[in-house]
Chain A
Amino acid sequence: QVRLVQSGAEVKKPGASVKISCKASGYTFSNHAIHWVRQAPGQRLEWMGWINGGNGNTKYSQNFRDRVTITRDTSASTAYMELSSLTPEDTTVYYCARGPDFPYMDLWGKGTTVTVSS
């Protein structure tokens, strides 16, 4: 079936990096973009960036000031999001989501919880 499966929860120290994976199945990975969105408890959804599944082009939110890197492995139908220089404020749930030709999101992963604590 069509789905996005994300990697498991992570616990990191401040200053560290985290890399989350998002494996797609049930559709042609290269025909769609993958977005990364995060959501702190009780907060609005925050878009981080996207990658074109076909050509690998990326677009990032400047709100993350070069801390975020999104990559993909087409042979594994998997996208990755790496966030560096973590602070406790990065403790939240991170979602990957599929984007069709235009940047809304029509399929979401279940989310990955990242906890940043010393």
Chain B
Amino acid sequence: GQQLNQSPQSMFIQEGEDVSMNCTSSSIFNTWLWYKQDPGEGPVLLIALYKAGELTSNGRLTAQFGITRKDSFLNISASIPSDVGIYFCAVLKLRRANNLFFGTGTRLTVIP
């Protein structure tokens, strides 16, 4: 079946370090998104990518849509304690009703 492989599954980093995570697929997708989920809450959209090769920033976050349209990465610079959470990649699977398919997430822990 369809899979989005996120790596790593979990990360433990020191406050102030940079973080990099990625998401790969065996299929081509034309829209990639990154969400963050805080404990006890729903996922929140961080960055949406619509064009292959596109590099987009949102504050300390930078995401790129791979040129092959089969992968994306998310970087967080100078991590802070509130960066803790689960980061999900998602792809637009069906344009009808904007249906998304999610990866299994990367759990980030920031050690103060």
Partners in one complex: no
